[in-house]
Every structure is written in structure tokens, then in C-alpha cells.
Amino acid sequence: MERTQQRAAAEESYAKGLEANRQLAESFEAGIYGADRSIKQVDLAVVVHVLYREESDNISMEQIHSQIDVLNRDFNWEQNDKGLIPEIWRESGETSGFRFHLADKDPDGNFTTGVTRKQTTVSDIGGGEDYYRAEWGGIEPWPQPHYINIWVCEIGGNVLGFTYLPSVSAQPSDGIVMDPRAFGTTGTAVHPYNGGRTLVHEMGHYFGLRHLWGQEEGDCTNTDYMADTPWQREANFGCNDFPHVSCPSEPDGDMFMNFMDYADDECGLLFTKNQIEFMQLVLQTAKVTLLHSPAITGITEPDDLGLTIYPNPAEEKINALFDSRYKGKKFGVYNALGQEVRTGWVSSSVESVDLSNLSKGVYFLKIDSDFVRIQKQ
């Protein structure tokens, strides 16, 4: 959150996108918007950039594959340690349908292992802004619309990893930074962070999840926008005994075994159903281009919604491109509170919608059960 707030203070465009994500989370919490649940599996391309000063941190492919395996296991509710979850929450998890793959095509269309490597002379390169800048010793990101970029490098300050909450447009730093001590399950990974779950936590942030205690610790009224996680005052570390109560309103205590707390790897155990659906919603809106990445061969794209908006972000108007299934149907444009602010009927394949007298912010065009997010500038 500290890195996210620093970026928002320094870059107006990121701050606007971050507010759009917050409005989306608020609408989700209120039950106004949800994800399209008809898409059962999505395949996401990952590129791992290994930055090392010492050869010992030039991590092996075995270690990288072990981390990808953990992501796929934990994001799909396939872990074998569910029995450690307190019974009251044991049925709270479900599969996201996210399948992570090391990219096998690079941005130029050449075959790749999905891993880049570079020796650097910069100490704790992940602690500043050097990690994504080649001229400063880092590795340039691959195009963020189509690749999840992960830098594995020294961070310093006992930080195991970080990422930024999603915005409307990708920043050069967009991706996840991981310390080699907390990446994967073998090699340089060190107990109690050798279960691969630090990256599971950071991937949750990458797809829009907050910590369970909200933006700041110390208050039992800060929301994470998830209706199925209890209120929580502050972070939990290590492995707590159940129940651990930090807010008097929650007799079952903190969900300290949730991936979005700070438990040791062996005690981080689940995403809830709402957390899963919100990550799906973020993927289908702010990060929708990941669904259509050319970086993985042999993968069938998920079904299109049959609904495309351009330009987006927009200033005066948008054009909505509908496929034939929608002809003659009514569509609406809604604000973040779920209030209908525009309406129309599909009489042709392209319909123009005037936005000129609407305030800047996030809107949704919805028809039947399909919807797309619009950013009004």
C-alpha cells in the first residue's frame, strides 16, 4: 500500500485509475456488479525476469516452475492443506479458473522459455525504480497488456515482495517484484517463506485485492470491500491459534489464514468466494487484455462477450460495437452507484453513446448479463 500511495501521489493518471478500481470494489461490495462467471478457465502468460548480483541468486528453472505450480494450485482451490482451515470457513474457497503459464512467445513472436536473466551491479535493485529500467541495471518489462511481469531480485529492507494495485492503464513498473528468498519452494527460498505463497498474496494485489484490514491498520471500520471476510484491526504474522479476535464485532475472530493476511506460508490457506469473483471482475475489466495474449501457443481464447467499446477511456462519446445476438435489445450505462445514466436500443452493429455531460469517472455499459467498464476522462 505504501508503494501504491507513493505512485498515486506522483502520477495523476495512476491516481485516477486507482480511484476507478476503488469505485469498482465499492460497487462490487454493494452487489451492483459482479464478474461474468460463464468463463470457467483463463490462461495467463507470465514472464519472470531474474536480476542477480551473485550467481547464487540466478535462480533455477526448477525453482521458477515450482512457483508457477503453487500459483496454479492455490488459485484453483487444489491445495491439500484445507483441513487446517477452521471449520467455519472451510467451505469459503473456490477455484478462480486462472491458469498461469510461462510465456512461450516473446513480444517479437519468437519462442521463449518465459524467463529472462541479467547480472546487475545494483544492490537491492528492487527497492527503488531501477528494476524495470535497462539503462539503470534492470530489465525492461514485456508489454504489460499481454504479460504478467515478475521481477525476482534483491529488494532490501526485509521486504519479501510487492506490487501495485491495478489502474486503468499499465505503468512501466506494472508487475510484481519478488525477493529470491520468498520465490518458489526450492533453491534460494527460505523457511517460513518457502511455500510460494508470498507470490500468491502479491498476485491477489495485482488483481485488485486489498489486505483484510483495508488500507490502514488500527481501525475495525476499514473495509477490504469483501463481504465474506470479517472485519480485522491489523495484520497477523506467523501462525495464530483460532480464534484470534482483533475486532469485538467478530466472535470468530480474524481470517488470519487468508492469503491476503501476512501468515507464514504454511498457514496461508485460502481466497474467499468474493475475493475470487472480484479478481475475475478485475481481469475482465482493467486487465482484460491478458485474456487475449498472443504469448501462449496452443491456447483457445475464452468466448468474447460480443461487446466492444472504443475509444476507452473516452471524453465526449463512445462507440459500442455489438454482435448480432444483441440486435433489438436495450442497453444501459450505469455509474459506480448502479444508477442508470444513459439508455438505448441496439438497431445496428455500432451505436454511439453521448458522454459529454457526465462527470469524470467510471461507468459500465450493460446489456443482458454482459457489461464493460468505461473510463470517462
> What amino acid positions are annotated as catalytic residues?
202
Terminal CA-CA length for the chain: 25
Cell output for 335: 455509474
Q: How far apart are CA 371 and CA 285, in angstroms?
A: 9
Q: What is the SS3 string spanning 193-206?
A: CCCCHHHHHHHHHH
Cell output for 90: 472451510
Q: How far apart are CA 126 and CA 111, in angstroms?
A: 27
Q: How far apart are CA 327 and CA 349, in angstroms?
A: 8
Cell output for 91: 467451505
Q: How far apart are CA 320 and CA 353, in angstroms?
A: 8
SS3 115: strand
Q: How far apart are CA 320 and CA 61, in angstroms?
A: 44
Bridge partners, 86 (sequence order): none
Q: How far apart are CA 287 and CA 164, in angstroms?
A: 13
DSSP-based helix, strand, coil % in the chain, nearest 5: 25, 20, 55
Bridge partners, 341 (sequence order): none
SS3 229: coil
115 within 8 A of 48, measured Cβ to Cβ: yes
Cell output for 175: 508487475
Bridge partners, 49 (sequence order): 116, 151
Whether the bond between 172 and the residue before it is cis, its omega within 30 degrees of 0, is no
30: which DSSP letter? T
- Give the count of alpha carbons within 13 A of 215, CB side only: 8
